[in-house]
Structure 1
Amino acid sequence: MKTPLRLLSILGLSAVLVACSSSPSNSLGQLPPTKYEDLDKLLLQASKKSDSQAVGLYLAAADLAWQQKQALRAREILEGIDLSQATPAQQIFAKTLEAELALGRKQPKSALQALADPSFTHLSELPISQQARTQLARAQALQDTGKPLAAARERIFIAPLLDGQQAFDNHQSIWALLSSLPRTQLKSSGQADLDGWMELVRLTKASDSLEQQQASIKQWMAKNPQHPAAQQLPETLKKLQQIQAKNIQTLALLLPSQDPNQNVVNALRNGFFAAHYLAQANGQATPTVLVYDSSDIASMDAFYKQAAADGIELVVGPWEKPLVRQLASRSTLPITTLALNYADSHQSGSKLLFQYGLAAEDEARLAADRAWADGMRRAAALVPQNAWGDRVLAAFSSHWQSLGGELVVTKHIDRPVELAGQIADMFQLRASEQRSKQLENTLGTKVAAQPARRQDIDFIFLAATPQQARQIKPTLAFQYAGDVPIYATSAVNPGPGEIYPELEGIQFSEMPWFIESNDATRQHITYHWPQALGSMGRFYAMGADAYQLASQLQQLQVLPNSSASGLTGILQLSPDQRIERTLYWTQFANGAIEQIHEAQID
């Protein structure tokens, strides 16, 4: 949908506001009246009118029902109106209400379709209140279809039309939408207001200390005094500026020297120190780091006693899951601790314990969010027959159903020889073949019929290794389901230089480490440890982010909705003090991994 509003410059907006404050022109007709409170009386009055008068009253009734939270009745009234008798103003009102009702049903794509009606070419000729209502509905629809940048653009453009609480809420939404964007999308656009917002977001996504971020925000405000965000700093940044920074002078890195997965531990350690030395080289204030060997720990109590004697203010580690479980079971801890793994349960433990790791559960929830935003509603799941697969499936299923989605069928991958049969069962192909045989027996002749798969599966959620995925994709095509979209976790990624043709088209979540090749910390790490370019890069990235989190835990804790941009994802703190990650959305395309960017909206 492209409206004349989009062609107006902000410089000419004052003239538009004056023009729009008057009633619409006679050629557009009047908007429906909004003075009524009794829905039944309004419907009775509408039934006694004809033509556009009746249309206006029925639209007013539908809107009144919507405002009274009677969504079903509002929809029934609206669908019963003959809009062929409507004036352009009434059509705009009707389609805006239709979009709002669709949003209430969690159908943002239907909302966007309603807002694409040709009548909206006249939107700028209507009163400001209607313009704002329509554009806010469009912004929400864009947001709900997974287009935060387009939604932010819409909100920035309509901001001058708003006042009061509506203006305040819109302002906070702009910040929240842009803050959710990955760093790769925070680029200059040539639009002054948007670019100012983008620059401010980039400052808060930097891996700087809290004091440096606070100073950068002040400098930005001084440089951009007329920008809307400088005149009214978003609430999150107001609180950020008020935090009294607590600089850590000495911290402990607690990792084992002898572990079955020592290569992973070494990657974590190297990534941590790479970020530390890079911060020093950039002139940042850095803490003293003391290294402790968790392989030698007989008692965590003895460790904490020694750490306290050494002046430790923060412990990063342990990594071993048994030790993390021990800490999670305690109600108190003597020193703030950022564990580099997760306990199995989400029990409420010490307020000084934070847990961070590369949890596949985060990726399962992201896949659910992405599929929902893409309009998917009915899912099938393919996961491994093991504890990891059970955890990932549980996370996906719980989040998917909380969104309103349906999990139609689940299959557990175990043995490759059974895969074809499992997929055939998933799509009920055997039942289709059986029906064909019954028909042949009834007719007594051969029937040329291709098996038909079930049609109530919109997409497949896949948690699998690259080797398993290489079998699954061709098998789906063979079983007449090659057109079903696949949303996967990063486990499907074989790593740089190992892209398989069989994986073409699979969408999956991936950490910024594999996307942002120009990141300074990544370049520093891969220069000194070339092996970090492969799959082990995930743990180098985690080590680097653990160092960043050490200085940003205070911010994440004080500001519940804040985030830190790391190499393992956008990092946020959950209520149970676990670091949760939001990753980039990517796909296998043309023999490479491509980030899926938000579609451009005119």
Structure 2
Amino acid sequence: MQIIKPIIESCFTKYAILLVLSICLCGCNTNYIEIISDKEIDNNTSRTIDVSKTQINIDELLIRKETIEITNLTPIKKIALLLPMTGKYSKIGKVIFEGIEAELNSISKNNRPELSIFDTGDENINLRDTYYEMLSNNFDYVIGPIRKNLINKIINHSSDKLPILTLNYTNNFKKYPDAVYQFGLLPEDEAICIAEKSIIDGNINASLLYPDNTWGKRIGESFSMRFEELGGKVINTIKYKKDEEMEINKSIKSLLQIEKSINRKDYLQSILKTKLQYKPYIPNNLDMIFSVGTSKNMRSIKPQFNFNFAEDVPFYSTSHIYNGVINKEINQDLNDIKFCDIPWLYNNKDILQKKSLRDNVEKRDLLRFVAIGMDSVKILYNINSLKINKKKYLAANTGYLQLDEFNKIRRSLIIVKFRNGKAKEVPF
């Protein structure tokens, strides 16, 4: 016994015990070893079928979009604008108008339509009387309004004689009159775009984080629906309250199962009576994270994932994290996040105009609304082509535009990624 005791106390034996315990611990960890029974072999077979279906969908997603060839522009003489030029939404109304004017300036003066603004910032505006006034004055089109309650009102008075292009969407898929078209920055388009990109990137299992409100739920559900349609699986969802950083951190740790890993480490240290070098592992069934929120939210959330050893897990969000203004220092915390956005912010078009807008403190957060204004004109001039070519796209500033069966303009977007604090377009 006296001969054996020094051997047990030797460093060699201590590390041998450490090795054995580590192997045992890994053997107990389902993240490293998967035991397959006969029943599970059948499940794996069905999983292969799902993958093949997904592959077909991926092939469809990667097909190059066929764009509309603009041959005959719709002749337009007069356009009525229903925009808020005063009141709460006046800043948005004014930059949309700026975009409309910019687009019309590309048309020769002889062919440029006449514009008339009807201010919807006035809460007492009578849309019925306003619409009939437009009819009597022989306007060709109406652009606007942007507020949903006003859209619902004007639709009730619409006529085939005066088509309307609203700058927002109603909350339902009710079939409206053929002369009513809906267009805007629909966040669901971004959620669908990210779901498709995630599948193309090879991700199957996703975790979701979004604000505990109607807006967050809309985006989260749109992502889940498209992601699962393409063969993906949402393995968990976290809803967070705004500005509750401690709660968000707890939720992230729970999602990544950090506490389980810490407990295993503590157990091993208690047996060995030795402090171990330690890095928690992330569950290997987590392929990606889709997190929704503002730029402020994401500058808090993404670093917490990095701090909790999930810096290598693919991370996706929406364009709400970026206002289009380059600020490398502030946006360092957004590095490696992919999101969908409008092409206009990243291409070489209208460089001087975009620089002027970015330098303007009051307008720099509204760049995308300028693009909305520009594209509203582009849509009117090509509305007949969009109606005839339902499977083709209009290449525009806010994306590749397509008219669906409900006369809603849907957008296909580009993919952007933060690198060194700067957002740059990357291949889809």
Q: How does 1:71-470 map to 2 (within 5 A)?
A: 104-107=52-55, 143=59, 147-148=62-63, 177=64, 179=66, 204=69, 210-211=71-72, 246-280=74-108, 285-296=111-122, 298-327=125-154, 335-414=162-241, 415-437=244-266, 443=271, 448=276, 450-470=279-299
1:409 is paired with a residue whose SS is strand
Question: What residue number does 2:409 align with?
Answer: 579
Amino acid at match of 1:384: P
Amino acid at match of 1:490: S
Question: What residue number does 2:344 align with?
Answer: 513
What per-residue deviation string (whole Å, max 9, x for no partner) do you get for residues 171-197 of structure 1? Answer: xxxxxx253xxxxxxxxxxxxxxxxxx
Question: What residue number does 1:563 align with?
Answer: 393
What per-residue deviation string (whole Å, max 9, x for no partner) do you get for residues 200-226 of structure 1? Answer: x6x83xxx6x416xxxxxxxxxxxxxx
**Alpha-carbon shift at residue 489 of structure 1 (Å):** 0.8
Question: What residue number does 2:423 align with?
Answer: 593
**Alpha-carbon shift at residue 251 of structure 1 (Å):** 1.8
Amino acid at match of 1:380: S
Classify 1:432/1:332 alpha carbon distance in 2 versus 1 (closer, same or farther; 3 Å). Answer: farther
Q: Which has the higher contact order (CA 8 A, sep 6+)?
A: 2
In 1: Cα distance, 2:138 partner to 2:346 partner: 39
2:107 is paired with a residue whose SS is helix
Residues 78, 139 of structure 2: 8 Å contact kept: yes
Classify 1:494/1:413 alpha carbon distance in 2 versus 1 (closer, same or farther; 3 Å). Answer: farther
**Alpha-carbon shift at residue 459 of structure 1 (Å):** 0.5
What per-residue deviation string (whole Å, max 9, x for no partner) do you get for residues 528-572 of structure 1? Answer: 895398332111111111111111122111221122121111111
Amino acid at match of 2:87: D
Q: How does 1:544-555 map to 2 (within 5 A)?
A: 544-555=374-385
Residues 1:496 and 2:325 aligned together:
yes
In 1: Cα distance, 2:170 partner to 2:346 partner: 29
Residues 341, 414 of structure 2: 8 Å contact kept: yes
In 2: Cα distance, 1:544 partner to 1:473 partner: 34
Amino acid at match of 1:355: Q
2:312 is paired with a residue whose SS is coil
Question: What residue number does 1:129 align with?
Answer: none
Residues 333, 421 of structure 2: 8 Å contact kept: no
**Alpha-carbon shift at residue 487 of structure 1 (Å):** 1.5
Question: What residue number does 2:4 align with?
Answer: none
Residues 526, 533 of structure 1: 8 Å contact kept: no
Amino acid at match of 1:578: K
Amino acid at match of 1:292: F
Residues 1:474 and 2:299 aligned together:
no
Residues 1:537 and 2:367 aligned together:
yes
Residues 324, 367 of structure 2: 8 Å contact kept: no
In 1: Cα distance, 2:358 partner to 2:288 partner: 39
**Alpha-carbon shift at residue 432 of structure 1 (Å):** 3.1
Amino acid at match of 1:428: Q
In 2: Cα distance, 1:261 partner to 1:103 partner: 47
TM-score (normalizing by structure 2): 0.79
Classify 1:404/1:597 alpha carbon distance in 2 versus 1 (closer, same or farther; 3 Å). Answer: closer
**Alpha-carbon shift at residue 364 of structure 1 (Å):** 0.6
In 2: Cα distance, 1:476 partner to 1:452 partner: 13
Classify 1:473/1:340 alpha carbon distance in 2 versus 1 (closer, same or farther; 3 Å). Answer: same
2:117 is paired with a residue whose SS is strand
Residues 508, 587 of structure 1: 8 Å contact kept: yes
**Alpha-carbon shift at residue 288 of structure 1 (Å):** 2.2
Residues 54, 230 of structure 2: 8 Å contact kept: no
Q: How many residues align?
A: 378
**Larger fraction in strand:** 2
**Alpha-carbon shift at residue 102 of structure 1 (Å):** 9.5
Question: What residue number does 2:26 align with?
Answer: none
Amino acid at match of 1:406: K
In 2: Cα distance, 1:427 partner to 1:525 partner: 41
Amino acid at match of 2:422: A
Classify 1:384/1:471 alpha carbon distance in 2 versus 1 (closer, same or farther; 3 Å). Answer: same
Amino acid at match of 2:121: S
In 1: Cα distance, 2:371 partner to 2:221 partner: 26
Residues 328, 347 of structure 1: 8 Å contact kept: no
In 1: Cα distance, 2:191 partner to 2:427 partner: 20
Amino acid at match of 2:72: E
Question: What residue number does 2:32 align with?
Answer: none
Classify 1:486/1:295 alpha carbon distance in 2 versus 1 (closer, same or farther; 3 Å). Answer: same
Classify 1:435/1:530 alpha carbon distance in 2 versus 1 (closer, same or farther; 3 Å). Answer: closer
The range that moved more, 304-313 or 430-439, is 430-439
**Alpha-carbon shift at residue 384 of structure 1 (Å):** 1.7
Q: Point out where structure 2 has 5 or more consecutive residues left out of the alignment.
A: 1-43
In 2: Cα distance, 1:428 partner to 1:341 partner: 41
Residues 53, 231 of structure 2: 8 Å contact kept: no
Classify 1:361/1:105 alpha carbon distance in 2 versus 1 (closer, same or farther; 3 Å). Answer: closer
Q: Percent identity?
A: 25
Amino acid at match of 1:274: A
Q: Point out where structure 1 has 5 or more consecutive residues left out of the alignment.
A: 1-74, 77-97, 109-139, 149-176, 180-200, 213-245
Residues 382, 463 of structure 1: 8 Å contact kept: yes
**Larger fraction in helix:** 1
The range that moved more, 343-352 or 580-589, is 343-352
RMSD over aligned Cα atoms: 3.1
Amino acid at match of 1:422: S
Residues 357, 364 of structure 2: 8 Å contact kept: no
Amino acid at match of 1:314: Y
Question: What residue number does 2:18 align with?
Answer: none
Amino acid at match of 2:96: L
Residues 332, 349 of structure 1: 8 Å contact kept: no
Classify 1:300/1:409 alpha carbon distance in 2 versus 1 (closer, same or farther; 3 Å). Answer: same
